[in-house]
Chains A and B, each alone.
Chain A
């Protein structure tokens, strides 16, 4: 499976270096290494979800209890979590870091992913969620740090899009 282990490790290390200690996740191809890294790390609590919206509630509780968290999900998981994001994280001003694998964009071979890729950024913009793309390995650590800084200064959700350029090594 040509998911980048090196860049998955970069993302995971950046999350950990910035104090993230709880990660909630639902598996998807691009996230397999990230989830395994979280599972193997004794300093990180991994919560495997049944549906992504639960992760918003778990991150709210973790934040109240003083634990930094992140959600790992596919863009379709983000779409499934929207009510929780709006009426939980936004209504209650929660610094929620979402790492969203941006499937269905240029280069996508799975026909079933293609609708989600076309709407993800527009939906994030409609929700006024500050978003940056992680596409350059050299900028991963800096962008993760900056995303968390804004999440905590604004007390609001922020999103980092995990892109094909970063996560997928097949030409």
Chain B
């Protein structure tokens, strides 16, 4: 499964609530499918997308929040995973695209390719629902189940280490940030 296929497969389920992505390929690919005002792309501050999602989820407990994380980013903020589990916001779905590499910065392999199993790490951190998907069908099924579960879920999707040719888009960082904030103000 590619990340782009996975994003396309759940795109129609991202119309309501807040969507926060990490930098690089995830941000560029989601924008290539179609930007929406409820999407925020954290283009730096690597590791903190899940923390941003936690801040939104705690502040607006009735708003559904989806975070699209990555293996490299999550490994950079494993402590944040324990914080996420500790406060376990029921309105947060935490998706981790695991391509076993730091693709956006040149393909450096991460520890998930050799030994670290992130779904098990999340479960051991205390995340109440965890799942792992290796096919599109599994991913769509698990994503839908997570959205309906009303319980914090970390869903690890194993994806190919391929991405877009370029990461810079014509959406300005601050344009995205203020548009997203305005969207949330109305919710």
Count class of interface residues, chain A? 20 to 34
| Shortest CB distance A84–B (Å) | 5
Q: Mark A16-31, 1 if CB is under 8 A from B, else 0.
A: 0000001000000000
| Shortest CB distance A55–B (Å) | 8
Contact A45 B58 (CB under 8 A): yes
A22: chain B residues at CB < 8 Å are 55, 58-59
Contact B86 A84 (CB under 8 A): no
**B contact set with A: CB distance below 8 Å:** 18, 20, 40, 42-60, 63, 77, 79-80, 82-83, 86-87, 173-174, 177, 180-181, 184-185
Residue A54 interfacial (CB < 8 Å)? yes
| Assembled-state Cα–Cα distance A62/B65 (Å) | 13
29 contacts between A and B (CB under 8 A): A22-B55, A45-B58, A47-B54, A47-B58, A48-B83, A50-B82, A51-B77, A54-B77, A54-B83, A56-B45, A56-B48, A58-B51, A58-B54, A60-B48, A61-B53, A61-B56, A62-B59, A64-B56, A64-B177, A65-B55, A65-B60, A66-B184, A83-B45, A88-B52, A91-B45, A92-B42, A92-B173, A92-B177, A93-B174
| Assembled-state Cα–Cα distance A54/B86 (Å) | 13
**A contact set with B: CB distance below 8 Å:** 22, 45, 47-51, 53-67, 69, 83-84, 87-88, 91-93
| Assembled-state Cα–Cα distance A50/B57 (Å) | 18
- On whether A53 and B59 interact (CB within 8 A), knowing A64-B181, A88-B42, A92-B177, the answer reads no
- On whether A87 and B44 interact (CB within 8 A), knowing A47-B58, A50-B82, the answer reads yes
| Shortest CB distance B184–A (Å) | 5
| Assembled-state Cα–Cα distance A47/B86 (Å) | 9
A47: chain B residues at CB < 8 Å are 54, 58, 83, 87
Partner pick for A53 among B47, B87, B181, CB 8 A cutoff = B47
Contact A64 B40 (CB under 8 A): yes
| Assembled-state Cα–Cα distance A56/B60 (Å) | 18
